[in-house]
Structures are given as C-alpha cells and as structure tokens.
C-alpha cells in the first residue's frame, strides 16, 4: 500500500511488515501501527525511522542501543511476553528513541545534538511484528578502565 508521510513523503508499505503496538506508545496511544524505514543507500544504517500509519505527521527516529554503546538486560513480565507473542528471546530487538530538544524560539532548527531515551526503550518481536515500550527502567552505567 502507498502511504503519504509528512516527513518521508510517499512510501510503499508492505502490510506484512507493519509493527503493531496494541496499546500504542505512551503519549501516542492512538498510534498502534508503525512501519520501520531506513536509508536505502546504507547497508548498515545507524538510524531508522518509525512511521506511524495512524498519523502521517508522527515519525520517530530510533536506533539500536549498541550504536550508542548501551547494552540492555531487560526483564519482561508474563503480560509483556504475551503482548509481544514472544516465544524465543532471540526474536526480540530493542530500539532506543532519539529526540532533539528545541526551544520555542527556533523556527527552523538545524540538525543539532540528538539525545536518546534510554530509560524507555522499545521492544519489538520481529517474528510476530508486535511491539511495546518498556517504561521507567532504572539504568546502571558501567565504566571500564578508570585507573
């Protein structure tokens, strides 16, 4: 199907690749279907775009936590495992939302410093195409070779 994204323009969406968030994403509860895109010119993309198929104006930038040097050990409860329809841990992938803070005075912000929401990662089951946002994680930062 052809979808007209406010950010990406007209894009082709294979319906078998749609990611479903049955409860939406916090603050975007009405957005339950997303399509993941990346730059077609890159064999190893560092940033992906998650386009809401419910709202053409909503496009989220995401990346793999490894791109930021972050390693997760996320525990899912039984309800989350059921929502993801997760039968094998290797089917799960974690994505981190990226954002850019901008002041109200910035009419045309230039690409500046990106920040990552590491306390609230997205967990996707690539096999079932189900997703959820794991919120409120407490994070420990490991530091190596401090001597």
Predicted TM-score of the model (pTM): 0.84
- The arithmetic mean of pLDDT across residues 43-56, rounded, is 88
CA within 13 Å, CB half, 25: 24
Q: What is the mean pLDDT of residues 45-63?
A: 93
The pLDDT assigned to 38 comes to 83
pLDDT, greater one: 16 or 102: 16
User: Is 38 within 8 Å of 73 (Cβ atoms)?
Assistant: no
pLDDT at residue 70 in the model: 87
Domain annotation for the chain: domains and CATH numbers: 2-133 (2.30.290.10)
Q: Can you tell me the distance from the alpha carbon of 143 to that of 88, in angstroms, rounded to the nearest whole number?
A: 31
**pLDDT tens digits for 93-144?**
999 999 887 655 555 555 567 889 999 999 999 999 999 999 988 776 665 5
CB 46 within 8 A of CB 63: yes
Are the CB atoms for 60 and 16 separated by under 8 Å? no
């Amino acid at each position: 199907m052809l979808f007209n994204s406010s950010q990406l323009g007209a894009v082709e969406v294979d319906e078998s690749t749609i990611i479903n968030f049955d409860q939406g994403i916090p603050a975007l509860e009405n957005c339950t279907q997303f399509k993941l895109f990346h730059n077609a010119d890159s064999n190893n993309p560092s940033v992906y775009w998650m386009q809401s198929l419910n709202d053409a104006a909503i496009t989220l930038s995401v990346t793999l936590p490894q791109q930021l040097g972050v390693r997760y050990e996320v525990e899912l409860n039984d309800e989350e495992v059921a929502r993801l329809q997760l039968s094998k841990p290797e089917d799960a992938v974690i994505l981190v939302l990226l954002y850019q803070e901008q002041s109200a005075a910035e009419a045309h912000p230039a690409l500046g410093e990106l920040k990552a929401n590491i306390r609230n990662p997205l967990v996707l089951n690539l096999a079932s195409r189900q997703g959820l946002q794991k919120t409120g994680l407490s994070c420990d930062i490991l530091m190596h070779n401090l001597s």
